[in-house]
Amino acid sequence: MYRIMLLHCLSCLALLGHVLAVDQVRGVPPSKLQAYQSVNGQFECLDHSKRIPYERLNDDYCDCPDGSDEPGTSACVGGTFFCQNAGHIPVYLPSNRVNDGVCEESCCDGSDEWLGLTKCPNTCRQKAKEYTEIQGKKEAIRQSGWKIKQEWQKTAHKLRMAITDEVQRTQAQVDSMRINLMDKEASLEKLESESAAMGAAATSQDEADTILARYQGAIKVLQDKIVEQQNRIAQLETIMKDVSEGYNPNYQDMAVKGAVTSFNALTPMTQSGLSDQDMQELDQITIVMPRAQTSTSLPPSSSLSGFWNHYRTKLVDIGLLQRASTVSSSSSSSSSSQAPFESKQLLDAKASTERMREELVTTERELNNLKSSLEENFGENDVYRAVKGQCFSALISDYTYEVCLLQTLHQKSPSASTLVGNFDHVDEQGSLVYRHGQKCWNGPERSGRVDLECGAVNELLSVREAQKCEYVFRVRSPLACSGPPAPLSSGRDEL
Ligand code: MAN
């Protein structure tokens, strides 16, 4: 429509363009005016690609490839129009909004409709007033948010210091635990070799037990035979005694006389090989020495080995056991599969060494957690560290959503509380990323992102499910408030 009307008004447009060119070129910011001055009646496109007669500036025909000859019309595709908005904030509009019959809200001086197709009142004074009020409120919020954020930063600094101390303390603890463990392992190793030696002794003991049982059986049989023979001899002795006392020497029986003479010449019978005391000892040494499985009742290893030596000596003394070397060498292969002997002392040492190892692993894990906490991105001056665990919620549509800073996100209904995610990290934009929430039916695990904007308090503004089970939380918080704005630099287009 503008083009049709323009055809009817070409002469007045040319005139207007020429007049404006003297002091100000329409649609051009003050900072660029210099480049729009006529040089020998020519305008040089801003990309220096060509020069055109000055009258063709803003003539509603696009000459320059970069569109720079039509800053005040909609002739060039993708061009921009500078709206000065004196007294308020200048803006750039897409050039297709120029003279389109609509008063642009942002162009409060009405200069976008300069052709007069629509009458646009200058509302910049009112707009500036409203803007100042809004800015004042925003600034007040920024200030109080910033104040809180600075407090949080101080808290975060203290927390960091405390964690740093804790790292040093835990590191020292880990170092000394490592040394203690090394000592402990060395003494355990010593105990283990002692125990291995003891195990060899225990092996000899097994052999000895077997031999002992065999000999004990044999001795008992012999002992019975001896008793039987003694009884026979006693009977014969009685017979011979009767004969020697009652025979008739007058018969001159030489055989009887010779037997009686030999009987009377016999020395009295000696004792059997084993005395009663020997037999008692034999019974006593049937004690079977305890093995590993009954270790809790074992005597201390030193007394145990003493006992075994005594036991072995006794067996050797009474001739039931060969010297230890011959027994153990012949028996070592048969008992090699048995469990090694372990004293209570060794078992205790093993258990306490294992405990020390476990404690060391736990403390090392704590140390690593502390160290990685110090390396984590907790935002500007570590500020997020101070707000961990602060929770707030809002009822949005069907659910109450809860944000726990640096901890969890939940979606709650009267009947259920669904974990949207556990805190994972702070992304490059400063948003809090939560992951690994409850799995969606037929979908992924829930996850969420918390976008922050400046506010005097923590406040959940909105939640949207950007994709199924992926939620974006909009939160106001002092966390997003910045310090005072930098002073305005000179050479800006604002007035
Ligand atoms: C629940 C809510 C929704 C989600 C569906 C997925 O209804 O958690 O936000 O989209 O489950 O099944």
3-state secondary structure of 63: coil
How far apart are the C-alpha atoms of 478 and 298, rounded to whole Å?
69
Atom of ligand 1 nearest to the CA of 471: 9
Whether residue 465 has its Cβ less than 6 Å from ligand 1 = yes
70 vs 195, which has greater pLDDT?
Answer: 70
Span from the CA of 440 to the centroid of ligand 1 (angstroms) = 7
- Residue at token pair 């790292």: 167
pLDDT at site 323: 53
Q: Examine the pLDDT at 301 and tell me if it is beyond 80.
A: no
Q: pLDDT per residue over 243-283, tens digit each? A: 888 888 777 788 888 888 888 887 776 655 556 666 666 55
pLDDT at site 71: 94
Atom of ligand 1 nearest to the CA of 418: 8
Question: Which of 398, 413, 469 has most ligand 1 atoms within 8 Å of its beta carbon, as the pocket-test mutant?
Answer: 469
Span from the CA of 266 to the centroid of ligand 1 (angstroms) = 116
Average pLDDT, the chain: 83
Q: pLDDT per residue over 214-250, tens digit each? A: 777 777 788 788 888 889 988 988 898 888 888 887 7
Whether residue 442 has its Cβ less than 6 Å from ligand 1 = no
Q: Examine the pLDDT at 35 and tell me if it is beyond 90.
A: yes
Q: What is the DSSP string of 82-129?
A: EE--TTS--EEEEGGGTTSSS--TT-TT-GGGTT-SS-----HHHHHH
Span from the CA of 263 to the centroid of ligand 1 (angstroms) = 119
Whether residue 316 has its Cβ less than 6 Å from ligand 1 = no
pLDDT at site 279: 63
Question: Which of 402, 438, 440 has most ligand 1 atoms within 8 Å of its beta carbon, as the pocket-test mutant?
Answer: 440
Q: Six-digit token pair at 22?
A: 């003297």
Atom of ligand 1 nearest to the CA of 465: 9
146 vs 219, which has greater pLDDT?
Answer: 146
Percent helix, percent strand, percent coil in the chain, to nearest 5: 50, 15, 35
Query: 96: which DSSP letter?
Result: G
Cα 10 from chain centroid (whole Å)? 75
Residue-level length of the chain: 495
Q: Examine the pLDDT at 111 and tell me if it is beyond 80.
A: yes
Whether residue 468 has its Cβ less than 6 Å from ligand 1 = yes
- Residue at token pair 């005694």: 241
pLDDT at site 17: 44
Query: Each residue of 139-155: b (16+ CB within 10 Å) or e?
Result: eebbebbbebbeebbee
Name which residue sits closest to atom 2 of ligand 1, judged by CA: 469
- Residue at token pair 């291995």: 196
* Percent above pLDDT 90 for the chain: 58
Q: Six-digit token pair at 291?
A: 């093995």
Name which residue sits closest to atom 9 of ligand 1, judged by CA: 469
3-state secondary structure of 393: strand
Whether residue 469 has its Cβ less than 6 Å from ligand 1 = yes
pLDDT at site 6: 42
Whether residue 440 has its Cβ less than 6 Å from ligand 1 = yes
Q: Examine the pLDDT at 34 and tell me if it is beyond 60.
A: yes
Atom of ligand 1 nearest to the CA of 411: 8
Atom of ligand 1 nearest to the CA of 441: 12
Give the mean pLDDT of 96-103.
94
Q: Examine the pLDDT at 11 and tell me if it is beyond 50.
A: no
The partner residues of 473 in beta bridges, in order of sequence, read 450, 463
Amino acid identity for residue 303 in this structure: S
Span from the CA of 413 to the centroid of ligand 1 (angstroms) = 11
pLDDT at site 450: 98
Span from the CA of 465 to the centroid of ligand 1 (angstroms) = 9
How far apart are the C-alpha atoms of 427 and 105, rounded to whole Å?
35
> Among 89-93, 121-125, 282-286, 469-473, whose mean pLDDT is lowest?
282-286
Amino acid identity for residue 355 in this structure: R
How far apart are the C-alpha atoms of 393 and 405, rounded to whole Å?
11
Whether residue 48 has its Cβ less than 6 Å from ligand 1 = no
> Among 116-130, 193-207, 370-384, 441-455, whose mean pLDDT is lowest?
193-207
Name which residue sits closest to atom 3 of ligand 1, judged by CA: 469
Span from the CA of 446 to the centroid of ligand 1 (angstroms) = 9
Atom of ligand 1 nearest to the CA of 442: 12
pLDDT at site 308: 58
Question: Which of 400, 419, 468 has most ligand 1 atoms within 8 Å of its beta carbon, as the pocket-test mutant?
Answer: 468
Amino acid identity for residue 139 in this structure: E
